[in-house]
Amino acid sequence: MKKLIFPLAAVSLTLSASAQLVINELLYDPSPGNDVNQDGEANTSQDEFVEIVNTGAASVDIGGYQVTDLSGNFYEFPAGTMIGPNEAVLVFGGGNPATTLNGATVFVGGPSLNNSGDTITLQDASFAQIDQVIYEDNSSDDESLNRSPELTGGFVPHTTIPGSVGSESPGTDVSGASFGTPLPSLMLSPATSSISESGAGNTTTLTITLPEAPESYPLTVNLSSDDLSEATVPATISITSGLTGSVLVTGVDDPDPDGDRDVTISATAEGFRGTQASVTVTDDGDVGTDATSPLLITQYHEGFSNNKYIELTNVSDDEIDLSNFILTRWANASTENFKSDGTFPGSQLTLSGMLPSGASYIVANPSATTPLAAGSANITSDITFYNGDDSVVLYQGDTIETANIADAISVTDLGNEGSDTSLVRLNTLVGFNLDAGSSILDFPGVWQKVSIAEVDGALLGEDNFIGSSILGVDAPLIGFTTTSSIVNEADGTVDLEIEILNPDGAAVTV
């Protein structure tokens, strides 16, 4: 299942009239032969568009504002361009359309909306982000993506929205109605609430209130949850009389120690604007499942430039043969392909050598320097050529298949959960699953995010230090107190001091 992410600027939006502006609809893949901009020529590039709506009660001067994509393409609105309350503007990719379409002012020369996925950003004249939409490939073929509920909700394919007309609706809402005469809005209360994922207190009742009577009864209200792995709602309810109806939200028990999760519940109905409410599903204290592999990933580090490392630790009581393990990297759009069989990673590394009980093994980027020089690692490999959207998966055995997964740093392509951070393993519980869209963020009880600065400043023997783990057992840690010195080649000498941290106090031969 494809996942859409639509973050909104939080602080800056509350400070100016720009808060009124939202990207409400975008079309990145017009169907062949569909002359969307109505200039007399169907063109799959020129008929792409971005729709921006002013949801507020005051006009906004958008002169100098830009609509941008990830490739650096942009459209800048001319100075003095005004967008009135409940009005929309359209930015088409090209062509020669009329100056208005469906009552909305038309502009031409927008960013290129990449069919394989893109990030479309609306920013003001000072380059502050106003709104942003991130979509993946195949999110919506031959139709637009539109917010549901209109103007406030998440992005879904146009034809899936109740009451929608056609495959896109440039300049109007999905039903073809003008934004200038907005439909009455449903109300869903309470706006925020909390339930447990299981047991007593795992349900809550939300109340839908109609601002006015519908044209006819019964009125069907469509409901959805944006995370069915955490909370469910009935697909529809019927209001047969009056102005209110009840919705039961039920928590979903899962075995993962995934912490508290916020779920958005949406309600839409024909003749009304939709609405949303937030329900927090609290974790019921699942302790998780113990990993069975003796070798686990105990630290992942995605530092500045080439400073990237993977720390593996033997968490068993016995020495293990590393040649029984394969470390792999699944890159970019293929980052979740390890969750099903029949696909292969972008790179792989068969390990070698014997690893004592409790000892750690470091894989470094060949150009890594901080906090550990590449030459001080056990091995260097292009496995570490990751950038936050690449999963790192460890296999036990000689074949790459889901049944052999020993451990994983699981991330998503657009989520970039592994970017600019270090992940330290807290215990030996399983820290991944094979669900589409899941990541290390679903296992906060297993993976602890640590800043780059905390790792760079860590001392030998501390858990944040690359090469030592709290899961190590009776394993002396050995390192030089000074990592570099300069001497003359003719007569120079230097004393190097070795630091040994030995948990059991036994003698160590270096």
Give pLDDT tens digits for 71-104: 889 999 999 999 999 999 999 999 999 999 998 9
Identify the CATH number of the domain in which residue 16 sits: 2.60.40.1260
Torsion of CA 379, 382, 384, 387, to 10 degrees: 170
Torsion of CA 469, 471, 474, 475, to 10 degrees: -30
Residue 196 is assigned to a structural domain of this protein: yes
pLDDT for 7? 36
What stretches of 93-153 adopt beta strand conformation (E)? 100-101, 104-108, 117-123, 129-136, 145-148
* Shared domain check, 386 and 270: no
| Lowest mean pLDDT across 20-24, 270-274, 302-306, 318-322 | 270-274
* Shared domain check, 364 and 276: no
* Shared domain check, 335 and 386: yes
Phi, psi of 177 (to 5 degrees): -80, 150
- The domain boundary, picked from 141, 160, 179, lies at 160
Residue 468 is assigned to a structural domain of this protein: yes
Report whether pLDDT(475) > 70.
no
Query: How does residue 108 score in pLDDT terms, banded at 50, 70 and 90?
Result: very high
Report whether pLDDT(348) > 60.
yes
DSSP state for residue 182 in the 8-state scheme: P
Residue 180 is assigned to a structural domain of this protein: no
Q: Which residues of 70-87 are buried (b: 16+ CB within 10 A; e: fewer)?
A: eeebbbbbeeebebbbbb
Report whether pLDDT(437) > 80.
yes
Which is nearest to 144 in space by CA: 157, 133, 162, 161?
Answer: 157
* Shared domain check, 116 and 35: yes
Hey, how many other C-beta atoms are within 10 angstroms of the C-beta on 345? 23
pLDDT for 415? 86
* Shared domain check, 303 and 261: no
pLDDT tens-place string over residues 282-338: 988 777 889 999 999 999 999 999 999 999 999 999 999 999 999 999 999 999 999
Return d(Cα 219, Cα 216) in angstroms, integer.
7
Return d(Cα 280, Cα 262) in angstroms, integer.
4
pLDDT for 90? 97
Report whether pLDDT(13) > 50.
no
Return d(Cα 94, Cα 112) in angstroms, integer.
10
Residue 432 is assigned to a structural domain of this protein: yes
pTM above 0.85, yes or no: no
SS3 content of the chain, % helix, strand, coil (to 5): 5, 35, 55
Residue 182 is assigned to a structural domain of this protein: no
pLDDT tens-place string over residues 384-402: 999 999 999 999 999 999 9
Residue 231 is assigned to a structural domain of this protein: yes
Residue with the bigger pLDDT between 482 and 30: it is 30
| Lowest mean pLDDT across 8-17, 144-153, 225-234, 368-377 | 8-17
* Shared domain check, 123 and 29: yes
Report whether pLDDT(211) > 80.
yes
* Shared domain check, 137 and 49: yes
| Lowest mean pLDDT across 3-12, 319-328, 420-429, 466-475 | 3-12
Return d(Cα 461, Cα 470) in angstroms, integer.
9
* Shared domain check, 299 and 368: yes
Report whether pLDDT(227) > 70.
yes
Domain that holds residue 45: 12-160
- The domain boundary, picked from 235, 250, 282, lies at 282
In this structure, are residues 373 and 483 in contact, taking their beta carbons and an 8 Å threshold?
yes
| Lowest mean pLDDT across 43-52, 179-188, 496-505 | 496-505
Torsion-angle region of 174 (φ positive above 0: left; ψ -120 to 50: alpha; else: beta): alpha
Residue 197 CA, distance from chain mean position = 22
Torsion of CA 316, 320, 326, 331, to 10 degrees: 40
* Shared domain check, 257 and 211: yes
* Shared domain check, 105 and 140: yes
| Lowest mean pLDDT across 320-334, 361-375, 472-486 | 472-486
Pair type for strands 192-196 and 272-282:
parallel
Report whether pLDDT(252) > 70.
yes
In this structure, are residues 384 and 308 in contact, taking their beta carbons and an 8 Å threshold?
yes
Hey, how many other C-beta atoms are within 10 angstroms of the C-beta on 190? 13
pLDDT for 296? 98
Q: How large is the average pLDDT for residues 56-73?
A: 92
Residue 225 CA, distance from chain mean position = 17
Q: Is 472 helix (H, G, I), strand (E, B) or coil?
A: coil
Domain count of the fold of the chain: 3
pLDDT for 125? 93
Return d(Cα 497, Cα 506) in angstroms, integer.
19
